[in-house]
Structure 1
Amino acid sequence: MRYVEPVKSVVLFLLVMLSVVLTFLIWTYTPDYKYIEKTEGEEILIKPQKDIEDVIRPYKAIFRSEEEFTGTISNTAMKEIMQIFKGWHILDLAPINNSLSSNYINEIIRADKRMTVFFTGEVPFSAFNTIFQFTDKELPETTFNRMIIDWSNYDNKELTLYYISSNNQSLFRSHVSVSNMTQFMQEVIEPAKKYDTFKEIERGGYTSLYLANSNIESVKYTYYIEDITPELFKNILFPDANIVQRNVESATSEKYTDGMSLMTLDTNLKSLNYVYPAAESSIRVEPSKLLKDSFEFINEHGGYTSDFRYVSAGTNKNQMDYQLYLQGLPVYSKHVITRMTTIWGDSRIFHYKRPYFSLDMDIPSEKEIIELPSGAEIVELIQQSNNLVLSDIDEIVLGYYLITQNQELNIFTFEPCWFVIRKGTWTKLTPEILGGVKNGLE
């Protein structure tokens, strides 16, 4: 028995030491974690993504030389002009006038050796960052919708650019160093000598209109239309598509909701209308950020499903509009929707309205050459009409009127027509509008 106490002491000591060792091992243990890769949500692209210059493109260019205007609305010419702009080194950018008069605008456009490029919407300077190379790192938070290029000093390999904003009545100027001036003259200025002559339609106290003097041959197209399945938009616009409920309201209306946002389809107009009420905001977004956010939102899901172009901005409502174009001409319709609209909210999209169809393929056998009166003739008819006032018109444009020839078979017809634009609203010029004179309008 005399060994019992020493044994107890040894056992107790060993237990204490074991406890110390185990505690130390627990404190210093580092588990062998396996790296878990983050799985990104599957990217959904309806159509291929586009560059900003595909969406921001001029609709008309006029050239003043030797006291004559020539001009073009050719889609090919507009693409080539934008391509020539790429890489231009903008040496400076300075404000010149912030209270432009209409007469002053007319004067600088009609000065010799100048070309004017017309954009439908007011374009923020930052949107040209991928096209021009600005020396100034901080660009002014303002916009322009006409760009005038003065080539009178081309011998020194320098151009002068003027930027006019109709909304802000502002004028900016910059000087451009063009490394290959010969290319600019050969590919932009020389071809302009063969363009149609344009007539300046002067309107006392208002900016002039510029329209072709010659009759216009255009093509009437018939297209198959491809419907884009609403399920794609449901998966794109709702965070969790699995909880979205679909309700068929009527033969022409469907609704999708997850309790927070709502997507409505109008199968007659082929329009999709998405709203996320919680994002509604009265805070005004600057034009440059608004265009960037709107463009990226649509482009991330390949939402430019046809030739959609930026045409207007309502910065008070954070709204951006994109119009459908065909062969370089705007498409308007009362039968289906032909415009995309985004309204930006609190750090995300608040309202998104758009068509859910795209142009599939045209039917060659249905093509038809249509001859339309010249722009100058259209002006004469407007002046004789009691329904229109020339000074109220912002622009007279050649475009397409979309008709649903057979909606069940998704066959649509695009008819070339003249339109007037007033305060962002289009009106098709018909014999009824112009006082009963057909003159090739229909």
Structure 2
Amino acid sequence: MKKIYLFAPVLAAVALMVACNSGAKAASGDGAPASPEQSGSASANSVRYTNGSIPTTTTTATIADPTLDNMPAATLTIPSGWKMQGMMLTSPCTTIPAVVFRTYSPDGLMQMRSEPAGGWRWGGRMNMGKLPGCLPLNKEVSAAEFLNYYIGTIPGGVHLVAPIVLPEDQRQAIAERAVKINQLNEQHADVMGGITDSEDLAAIRIETVNGSFVIEERLRAHLSCQRNTGPNNFTGSSCQAQVDRLMAPKGQLDALMRAVDSKQLPQAKASDQWFQAKIQQQNEQASAFRAKMNALYQAENKMFAERAQQFSQTMMRNHEAYMQQQESEYQSQRANAAATMNARSTVASDYVDYALDQQTVAVGGGTAKVSSSYSQTWYNGSQWYQTNDPNSNPNGVLQGNWTLATPVHGNGQPR
């Protein structure tokens, strides 16, 4: 079995106190009186409590965890005849699951509570700042200093009476806890090197009013701090403060404290089976969260990859279109240049033929220069025959097979 420690924000503590007190009723009517937090400071018109009795016997109560099919999560030893309300709560600052409860006498005037505890962090190379669910503190404080901070969060205000000197066995237990934790830190110096644990315990007496009754309370704070001065101080130092409250009508608190402390109530203990199931549940939730984040990451990567592919394809198409345009313009320019050069060459070659009184004809796959004095030129492969008679044909008259040559420009280009 494990002793339960809970670390949660003060807002959760206030919310739980309000929820727990919402069912209380006035002493003059049916049921329990109103909650002391909702009643303001002590009043001179209060009356003396006479109906209550200090509990002498105890019973065991169980808290179930609805997130694990109502598995029994913790057992508490409480005064016989008292009622109890409780729940398992995981602190958003420390992520440690534990029990939060209140147990109270039939008339509701005597109560024993374990409040959601608060945690905070400071320093560290990561400089994470204030984390969600953590208290707005940025240094190590004493348990007494934390109580001064805590009473400022109680709705309606309280009357601070005086500090309470706690029994020696309680202070000794806290000191022994610090020694054991630091010994464990030394044994695991590869992980816990540079971390020093300190434990502190303090209590104060306050007064509030519940209906017509003055209620005395003992607020007791257990402060646990881990100072990190190691070379790999990434997350910084941290503290957790757990507050329990003991309430009784004025004049009854001292006797109730003796009865509760002598039996070390409430002896809250977590079930080993529940603890393992809770760790597994948290691991599964963490795995599911990681899987969800990984799926989102993969989807985002896929989206970016598709966009990159689309962009690449668009750029490729644009590049190909640009290159095609460039090639088309180049070929067009070449064609224009060639046409210009051909035109110039044609004119020049015609001038040469004219100057030499010759003409160029094409026949048999080639060209030849012949006299420009005739309009008809025939060729039989070795001899030429020219005439100005368009009806003249040497075939059948002269030896060989004659072909009529075609006049072309001086450079061989067709006319």
Q: Same fold (TM over 0.5)?
A: no
* Structure number, greater radius of gyration: 2
Normalized per residue, which structure has more strand? 1
TM-score by length of 2: 0.20
